[in-house]
Amino acid sequence: MDTITRLGVVGCGLMGSGIAEIAACRGLDVLVAEATRAAAQAGRRRITASLDRAVRRGKLTEELRDQALARLAFTHDRGDLANRQLVIEAIAENRDLKTEVLRALDKTVTDPQAILASNTSSIPIIDLASVTTRPEQLLGMHFFNPVPVQPLVELIPALTTSRQTLERARHFATEQLGKQVVQAPDRAGFVVNALLIPYLLAAVRMVENVAAGVEDIDHGMELGCAHPMGPLRLLDLIGLDTAQAIAESMYEEFKEPLYAPPALLRRMVAGGRLGRKSGQGFYTYG
């Protein structure tokens, strides 16, 4: 199986920065594209801070951190991605934006063998593949937050994805990034979010109905079921806006009431309480 040496990552928020970081640590040449110069600089700072933290915790030497940083380049011009062998789109969970980016990447990336992947959490992959001229070379590669910690990548072939593309992506995720993969169906939510999101939304409804307190719900699941964090703390980690967008995609596909974002979630997102990234969600962050 051929090895990917030149990776492109579009978007350097929570997920894109994590993907770029682990790939650079694993020896790949990584080019990160953001929409603006300021966003690209913020992305570089986020990855540098994460690598510095790994050095402080004794997981990485300073030398390896510097080598990883040297393999990372940032641009605000997507045209620079032309020579990439694999480009992973990891922008906000918004169907129109993702469609626009993938359509543009299809024109920009010149390698006829290149794979285009989306880190979407819930949007049907076929809807993204069908806006490109190479639907057989597009698939979903869904990482989990925090990317350096969570071992899983869901691989989601669309109806149109070729077997070769799927096997190259599997090889990349397992052999090159050291992740474990599950193959997931191209249904909104794939495997993990199809199970996780209704549980998280049920916890929000429990708060909404004043049936239990935020900390009691979280402690209940942490201590009773050995979850590393309870559902409300996890929502704060994922981002309430992202969780709402995932729930909306799933609701749109299945019309299943359990997937409908509860009013409290919508109000919190409308009020800018997005979780850790905004400093306030179900908890407050310093």
Question: Any catalytic annotation for residue 130?
Answer: no
Instruction: Decide: is 195 part of the binding site for ligand CAA (CB under 6 A).
Output: no
Q: From residue 236 to residue 255, what is the string marking binding to ligand CAA with x (rule CB under 6 A)?
A: -xx-----------------
Question: Any catalytic annotation for residue 167?
Answer: no
Instruction: Decide: is 145 part of the binding site for ligand CAA (CB under 6 A).
Output: yes
Question: Any catalytic annotation for residue 142?
Answer: yes
Using the contact rule CB under 6 A, the part of the chain among 29-37, 144-152, 178-186, 274-282 near ligand CAA is 144-152
- The residue within the footprint of ligand CAA, chosen from 121, 132, 137, 161 (CB under 6 A), is 121
Question: The tokens 């409300």 sit on which residue?
Answer: 232
Sheet containing 86-89: order of strands: 72-75, 29-33, 6-10, 86-89, 115-118, 138-143, 152-157, 180-183
Using the contact rule CB under 6 A, the part of the chain among 143-151, 162-170, 209-217, 249-257 near ligand CAA is 143-151
| Catalytic residue (one of 21, 93, 154, 248) | 154
Nearest residue (CB) to ligand CAA, 229 versus 263:
229
Instruction: Decide: is 56 part of the binding site for ligand CAA (CB under 6 A).
Output: no
Cα atoms in the Cβ-side hemisphere of radius 13 Å centred on 110? 5
| Catalytic residue (one of 119, 121, 122, 249) | 121
Question: Any catalytic annotation for residue 154?
Answer: yes
Q: Which two tokens stand for residue 197?
A: 């999101």
Instruction: Decide: is 148 part of the binding site for ligand CAA (CB under 6 A).
Output: yes
Number of residues that bind ligand CAA (CB under 6 A): 15
Q: Where on the chain is the footprint of ligand CAA (CB under 6 A)?
A: 50, 57, 121, 144-146, 148-150, 193, 228-229, 234, 237-238
Active site residues: 121, 142, 154, 193
